[in-house]
């Protein structure tokens, strides 16, 4: 009797249709995503720094309004604080919280861009002072990558994003290429997309309020 029940049970499992399997897998992925967002948020809100996947290369990040957390990243990367880092944002509302004035061409560029694009804009506010460049500019990128987007929804603040390497060393294109020093130096490593391969970094364009446009990196 027991064997009959057991065989019937396994038969039901085996004969799940493909749509059901896809649905279950999507739920599992969503649950894992939400868990990682929660874990990263808990670290960041307490002033920690994380290693995480972005829409381009793996990045080191923290709350972009937390000056002490930003200092930790500079120290880990062995980088001078005079060299600013970019921040990620998840939409127009967050952009206007940091920049009172945004050139109209900025939105045109973002609408037409076919790859991740970082814009360097004038006169940032409401961010840590040590993340702003000496010429009072800040590099920003709006992302739709699910993990980053959901994390910033929880944070309600911009997220620092700098490549996961010691300053002057090569930029890792995969998680496996990230040095042990970097991995050990962060407070949390996000457990997502460890097999992802990044082909290219973002395009970087500097936009002045005087309407000057300069392409830093294609």
pLDDT the model gives residue 102: 95
Report the alpha-carbon distance of residue 41 to residue 151 in Å, rounded: 7
Q: What are 15-55's pLDDT values in tens digits?
A: 556 666 565 566 666 689 999 999 999 999 999 999 999 99
Give the chain's mean pLDDT.
88
Q: Which domains does the chain have, with CATH numbers?
A: 2-217 (3.90.870.10)
Q: Residue 157: what pLDDT?
A: 97
DSSP labels for 38-83?
HHHHHHHHTT--EEE--SSS-EEE-BTT-HHHHHHHHHHHT--TTS
CA dihedral 140, 152, 58, 165 (to 10 degrees): 70
Does the pLDDT value for residue 9 go beyond 50? no
Residue 217 pLDDT level (bands cut at 50, 70, 90):
confident
Handedness of CA 121, 126, 132, 135 (dihedral sign): positive
pLDDT tens for each residue of 104-119: 999 999 999 889 999 9
Q: Which pLDDT score, from 0 to 100, does residue 5 have?
A: 42
Judge whether residue 209 has pLDDT over 90.
no
pTM for the predicted model, two decimal places:
0.85
């Amino acid at each position: 009797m027991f064997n009959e029940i057991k065989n019937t049970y396994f038969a039901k499992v085996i004969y799940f249709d493909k749509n059901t399997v896809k649905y279950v897998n999507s739920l599992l992925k969503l649950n894992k995503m939400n868990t990682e967002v929660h874990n990263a948020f808990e670290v960041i809100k307490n002033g920690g720094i994380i290693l995480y996947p972005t829409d381009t290369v793996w990045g080191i990040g923290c709350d972009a309004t937390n000056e002490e957390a930003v200092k930790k990243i500079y120290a880990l990367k062995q980088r001078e604080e005079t060299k600013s880092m970019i921040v990620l944002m998840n939409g127009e509302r967050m952009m206007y919280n940091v920049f009172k004035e945004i050139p109209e061409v900025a939105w045109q560029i973002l609408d037409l861009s076919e790859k991740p694009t970082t814009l360097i804009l004038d006169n940032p506010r409401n961010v840590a002072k040590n993340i702003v460049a000496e010429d009072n500019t800040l590099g920003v990128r709006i992302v739709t990558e699910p993990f980053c987007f959901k994390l910033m929804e929880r944070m309600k603040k911009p997220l620092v994003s700098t490549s996961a390497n010691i300053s002057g060393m090569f930029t890792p294109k995969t998680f496996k290429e990230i040095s042990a020093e970097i991995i050990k130096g962060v407070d949390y490593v996000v457990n997502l997309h460890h097999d992802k391969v990044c082909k290219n970094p973002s395009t970087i364009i500097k936009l002045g309020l005087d309407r000057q446009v300069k392409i830093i990196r294609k």
